[in-house]
Structure 1
Amino acid sequence: MKKKIALVTGGYSGEAEISYLSAITVGNNIDTEKFDYYKIDIHPDGWNYVDAAGNKTAVDKSDFTINLAGEKIKFDAALMCIHGTPGEDGKLQGYFDMLNLPYTSCDAATSALTFNKRYTVAVAAFGGINVAKSLHIFKYAPVSAEAILQQLTLPVFVKPNNGGSSIGMSKVTEATALEAALEKAFKEDNQVLVEEFIAGREFTIGVFKTKGEIIPLPITEIITKKDFFDYEAKYLGASEEITPAKVEEAIAEKVRAAARKVYELLNCRGIVRIDFIYNEAKGEPFMLEVNTVPGQSEASIVPQQVKAKGWALKEFYTAVIEEAV
């Protein structure tokens, strides 16, 4: 009997459009000999199963089921393809936990923690991972640019504390530009992270667990044509992504070891992507952030890394689903 999988996509944030792209890639690579999958669109206007013709059937939120031609479809697992809220911040995970429905991402606690960039680096630092020096600022308790620069050294990154896709992010090299950067970040979130710049090479690495083993994928080096890896660099082609990264094995092993440690330390599940800066002066990787529902579109990094490892995407998503089930 084939397992019934809910491919959960959409979401309530600006990242929904990326979620829909991810769902296309994942849907095209689910092994339909092993699984029956149903695309579930979680949208502010409602939760619906969307069939191949675009017809919608409402989801019963009391038990996360759908009714098709008089048959009640109960899912065996949810395959998470929502970037941003409510699929990456722990909200859906908590709901699924209450229904005893397995899912392919980190649990509610880890998802909520990693969605908050400041709390992530704080916990990682406590566990012995290198992170940049930073300040966590709340909208209701504004901190002046002058006060920030008494504690941090330019250049700094200013970014919304929650969410991904680098929307609302700025690199600040001059004190006069800091206020505008804070304003831009506060338009996206009521919490902002101001983080000291670390010079070095930017690496990102997918990590997942299967049959009890934590497996790092081949590393990608990001060389941005802009000043930093923002939304435009990520999704609109303003960066070069080299997979696998052309990097000495000694450096690659340090990044892989740090990635495995972060995955274990934060009690991650499913596929996550962890971003690092490798500071050559110190000879150490510094963790930037953890993405618990990384992009899966054709242009995304994790699918590139899976292919670089010599795996078919179908084989990879089967392993991810089977680990959850």
Structure 2
Amino acid sequence: MKKNIAIIMGGYSSEYKISIKSGNVVYKHLDKEKFNAYRIVISKEKWVYLDKDENETIVNRHDFSIKIQNRILIFDCVFNAIHGSPGEDGLMQAYFALLKIPHTSCSHYQAALTFNKRDLLSTLKPYGIKAANSYYLNLGDSIDHSAIVEKVGLPCFVKANKAGSSFGISKVYEKKDLQVAIDKALLEDDEIIIESFLNGTEVSVGVITFKGETMVLPLTEIITDNDFFDYEAKYEGKSKEITPARLTKTQEENIRYQAKKAYEVLKMKGFSRSEFIFIGNEPYMLEMNTTPGLTEESILPQQAQIAGISLPELFENAINEALK
């Protein structure tokens, strides 16, 4: 008997449109011979099921069900394609845990932890996973520009602590430009992380649970036409993504070990894509994404295909792992 799968997409953040695209790709490639797929769009205003003609049906949030032709439909599993809140920060994961509905992403605690860049990097530091020097600010804090520069140097990156797709991020070269960057980051989040600039090769590492085992996918080297891997570079073609990455054997071994270690230390499940920058042979972690882009052009699906895993197989595996 075919399983009923809800593909959740949209969300509450600036990544709404990107998530809709990811969710539609999952819907397109999910094997219809094995699954009944339903697109569920979640926004601040409403939660709705979209049928093939784009007609909307309200989702009952008490039990996450929908009513179709006077029949109540309950879902066997949820495929999470929401980037940002509430799909990547633990809120939806906790909701589904309460309802006892399996889902393809990690647990709510891991989602909340990894979505918070400051907490993620602090948690992994005792396990030998390196990160750039950093300075923390919260909304309302007094801001000492000189202390920031003394701690992290210039240039530096000012980032919204809980945001994705490079929203709220700036590269700052001069102290006089710090405040503008801080104000920009505060538009996305009330917490900020300011990090030293690491001048090295940027590499993206996909790690998934595949057929019950932790699997590190082929590595991707990021080369951007812009000053850093920002929104334009990620989504508007202003970057080159080379898979497999052009690394030495030592570099590849080091980053594979660190990425797998981070995934397993955090007791992750489902998809993850972590970003690192090399300083010599040592990888420094920037962040971990637990609902990475899932379009045909996105990094993790490209890595999976090079590993011999098609999109239908990748998505089916995620559901099978969730249903175990």
**TM-score (structure 2 length as normaliser):** 0.97
| Residue aligning to 2:317 | 319
> Can you list the C-alpha shifts for 1:277-325, whole angstroms capped at 9, x where unaligned?
0111xx2111110000001122211111111112211111111110001
Say which SS state the counterpart of residue 60 (structure 2) adopts.
Answer: coil
Equivalent residue for 2:259?
259
Find the counterpart in structure 1 of residue 67 from structure 2: 67
Partner of 2:292: 294
* Larger mean Cα displacement after TM superposition, 2-11 or 305-314: 305-314
Aligned-residue CA RMSD in angstroms? 1.1
Q: Which residue of 2 aligns with 1:116?
A: 116
Q: Aligned partners of 1:249, 1:313: CA distance in 2, in Å?
A: 28
Secondary structure of the equivalent of 1:228?
A: coil
Aligned pair 1:230/2:221, yes or no? no
Q: Aligned runs of 1:149-160 on 2, under 5 Å?
A: 149-160=149-160
Partner residue in 2 for 1:284: 282
4+ aligned runs moved over 4 Å, structure 1? none
Q: What displacement does 1:247 show? A: 2.2
Q: Which position in structure 1 is the counterpart of 2:271?
A: 271
Q: Does structure 1 conserve the Cα–Cα contact (< 8 Å) formed by 2:133 and 2:151? A: no
Which one-letter code corresponds to 1:313 in the other structure? L
Q: In structure 1, what is the equivalent of residue 37 of structure 2?
A: 37
Does the residue aligned with 1:147 lie in a helix, a strand or coil? helix
Quote the offset at 1:127 in angstroms. Answer: 2.1
Structure 2: give runs of 5+ residues left out of the alignment.
none
Verify: 1:310 aligned to 2:308, yes or no.
Answer: yes
Percent of residue pairs identical: 45
Secondary structure in 2 aligned to 1:251?
Answer: helix
Is the CA contact (8 Å cut-off) linking 2:185 and 2:192 kept in structure 1? Answer: yes
Counterpart of 2:110, as a letter, is T
Alpha-carbon separation, structure 1, partners of 2:139 and 2:43: 27
Matches of residues 89-104 of structure 1 in structure 2 within 5 Å?
89-104=89-104
For the residues of structure 1 that align with 2:233 and 2:167, how far apart are their CA atoms? 11
Deviations 1:98-155 (A, max 9, x none): 0001111111111111111111111111222111111111012132211212222222
Gaps of 5+ in 1: none
User: How many matched pairs?
Assistant: 323
TM-score, length-normalised on structure 1? 0.97
Query: Which residue type is aligned with residue 133 of structure 1?
Result: N
Q: What secondary structure is seen at the aligned counterpart in 1 of 2:241?
A: strand
* Alignment partner, residue 51 of structure 1: 51
- Shift of residue 211, structure 1, vs aligned partner: 3.6
What CA deviation, in whole Å up to 9, does each residue of 1:172-228 have, x standing for no partner?
122222122111111221111100111210000111013431001111100011111
Cα distance between partner residues in 2 of 1:2 and 1:307: 26
